[in-house]
Each structure stands twice: as C-alpha cells, then as structure tokens.
Amino acid sequence: MNKFLENDQSLESKFRSIYLFGRNVATYKFAFAKALLELGKSDKSFVSLEELSPIFAKYMLEHIGNGKRQITSSSSKFINALELYNKQKIEWAQLLQVTERVGFTNVIDAFHNIPNGQLNTIFYEKSVQGKTLGITLTDSIYILNRSDQRASLLNEIEGRWNLVENAWTERNPKLEVKFDQELEQFFFLRSITPERYLNSHERVNLTSVRKPLNGYQKGKCFYCYRSISIESGQPTTCDVDHFIPLSVQYTSGVDMDLNSVWNLVLTCQECNRGENNGKFARVPHESLLERLYKRNEYLIESNHPLKETIIMKTGKNIKSRERFLKIVFNYASSIKGSGWIPEQYYDIGF
C-alpha cells in the first residue's frame, strides 16, 4: 500500500482507500460503499441480506442502464438479472431474490481489502441472527456518516465508478483522458470506424474533474489543506487549478500539455484567487512540486484510466516522472519566476 494512510488515519481517508485503491473485477464495491453510507444514516445495527438487497440493487441499476461494462468477466448471474429487470423482463421481487442469493458473493468478504492486506478499521462485520444472514454495522460507519465530507465521499465514489466502467467498456489500456477546461470535465475521444467516417472521433464524457481528484487530496485544498467541497454553490466549493500556469503552455514553442490531469489540482478559492495572496497565474514554490508528484503517484496506483494518461504524459517509471516534473517546473520558473506559497496550513498533509 502507498503512503496514503501514513500520516492520516481518519475514517474518511480509510473509507477512501477502499474505493480508490482496492482491486476491482466488478463495480460492486462502489455500489456497496454507497449502500453503507445510506445505511449509516439509520440507527439500525444488524442489516439482513434481504434488507440490504434493494439498496444495493438500486445503486447498481443506476449504472446498468448506461450500457457500460460492470464486470471484467464474460458473464454474471447478478449482472444478467439487473439487465433483465432494466429491460422489464423480470419483476422487482425476482431481482431481489437473485441479489440476495448471488449479489453479495464476493463484495461482502472483499470490501475491506486494500493492496497488501486488509484495512485495520472495518465498517461492518458479517453476521447471522438466528438463521438470517446479514451484516452488523460498526460505530465507524455511523461516525463517518456524521462527517462534513459525506457528500464528497458519495461524489468521489461516483467519479471513480465512471472512470472504471468506461475503461472496461473501451477495453483500451492506453485510453487517454482529456480535460475540458470550460466544462471542468474529463472526456476521451473514441475512434469511429473508417467505414463510417475517415479519421473521425466521437467525444465520450466521463465525469466532472472534481469527483475523481478530490479523494486523492482527502477533501483538502492542494496548497493549504483547508477543507473543500466538490458540490457547486457552496462557500467552500473548490476551484480547479493548473499547478504550472496554463499561460506557460506555448511559450516554448511546443505543447507542454499543461491542461492534462497530471497538472490539475483542486484548491480552495482563497489560495487560487484570493485578494491578499491568491496564486492566480504564479508558479508555486519548488517545495510544492513534491506534493504534486505524490498526488500523481496516488492516481497511478489506483489504476483505470487516469493512471495510463499520467504515465503517457510524464514517464513510465518513478525517476522519469520526477525528471519530467522538474524539467517543466524549471522552465516555468525561468519564464515567470517561482516561489508562491499559501499564507498558512490548516491541516495535516495528504
């Protein structure tokens, strides 16, 4: 496991580590994470599989209808049942029977698994009451649900889910994710068969840039670690900032690809454009470059598909990625100078 939890053992970070870094062969983990957050709003401790099934199926159905792949295997009884219900070929009661019987086969046992082991905090335990199978929620999930980051967690899960299902659907390990600055959205270009159009592409929108990036910053401003929100219209709604200012983009006569994910960070409004000490188009202090590298490595370790985009742009190994960032930073500093830092830090790092 990387250093994501090294200096932060908060429940929010532990929960994030599950859906950001856990291995996925199906998207069940994302639906189950959402179900847990919903269950945590109640005061119910034991939840039977019968009670859990409609909540779990509800979240899976939200994605089944988009036609994207939800598993890496060729078939699944649970996925087949979801698709049949979506096509109105089976009843809700029939779907719930299948969900209870086979929908939880792997996800309940594997949910807390992270790279190189299992999370040291659990949000539920497998339980049996009489002859009824289910789970018993722990205090951790109730505490997590009182967090001011709860809404962000749900949005992050959705953003991660969107990326994974699109990567599986495209079956393209080299899928390049692009950034639409005006819409603040990730997208990719899919080639259209030559028989229809010559050298043509269609745009496939992925997700708001805020959703997948926020979790790797643990819901904090990249620069000052102040808590941020990824919901629009909030006092703490974050900005999307180019670490190396976009104004440097073409000063060298070549495209430096500064509008790519490796150079995008989420910031509080004060750091990005505050009247007293906003960054605006300034180049940060060199000490912040290590933070950018660390954040990018988090993204690489999580897989699908931001990993491949960053590797394609910055290098195939750690040393080449470090060198790339240093070269771009040094060039930007030679053009605009460097040295901007936030006025103060509000929390521990990420």
In this prediction, residues 263-277 reach a mean pLDDT of 96
Cα dihedral 337, 342, 345, 349, rounded to 10, equals: -50
pTM: predicted TM-score of the whole model, two decimal places: 0.93
Reply yes or no on whether the pLDDT at 146 is more than 60: yes
Note the pLDDT of residue 305.
80
Q: Are 218 and 14 in contact (CB under 8 A)?
A: no
For the chain, give percent helix, strand, coil, nearest 5. Answer: 45, 15, 40
Query: Nearest Cα to 51, choosing from 64, 35, 37, 62?
Result: 35
Note the pLDDT of residue 199.
57
Nearest-angstrom CA–CA distance, 68 and 75: 14
**Across-strand partners of 125?**
136
Note the pLDDT of residue 350.
84
The alpha carbon of residue 168 and the mean position of all alpha carbons in its chain are separated, in whole angstroms, by 16
Nearest-angstrom CA–CA distance, 16 and 118: 14
List, in order, residues 6 or more apart from 197 with CB less than 8 Å away: none
Task: Mark out the alpha helices in the chain (DSSP H runs).
Answer: 11-21, 28-39, 49-64, 77-86, 92-98, 107-110, 139-145, 150-170, 210-214, 269-273, 289-302, 306-314, 318-336
Confidence band of 103 (pLDDT split at 50, 70, 90): very high
Radius of gyration of the chain (CA): 22
In this prediction, residues 150-157 reach a mean pLDDT of 96
Backbone angles phi and psi of 266, in degrees to 5: -100, 135
Reply yes or no on whether the pLDDT at 279 is more than 80: yes
From residue 9, alpha-carbon distances to 3, 51, 210, 289 in Å are: 11, 31, 23, 24
Reply yes or no on whether the pLDDT at 172 is more than 90: no
In this prediction, residues 100-107 reach a mean pLDDT of 94
Reply yes or no on whether the pLDDT at 196 is more than 60: no
Mean pLDDT, the chain, integer: 92
With a pLDDT cut of 70, the percent of the chain lying above it is 97
With a pLDDT cut of 90, the percent of the chain lying above it is 79
| Range with lowest mean pLDDT among 74-88, 176-190, 199-213 | 199-213
Helix (H, G, I), strand (E, B) or coil at 109: helix
In this prediction, residues 309-332 reach a mean pLDDT of 96
Query: Nearest Cα to 303, choosing from 33, 14, 30, 20?
Result: 20
Degrees, nearest 5: CA angle 153-290-301: 50
> Per residue in 204-236, is it b (16+ CB within 10 Å) or e — as a string?
eebbbbbbbbbbbbbbbbbbbbbbbbbeeeeeb
Give 281-311 pLDDT, tens digit per residue: 999 999 999 999 999 999 999 877 899 999 9
Give 30-66 pLDDT, tens digit per residue: 999 999 999 999 888 999 999 999 999 999 999 999 9
Q: Are 82 and 59 in contact (CB under 8 A)?
A: no
Confidence band of 192 (pLDDT split at 50, 70, 90): low
- On the 0-12 / 13-18 / 19+ scale of CB atoms within 10 A, 46 is middle
Helix (H, G, I), strand (E, B) or coil at 127: strand
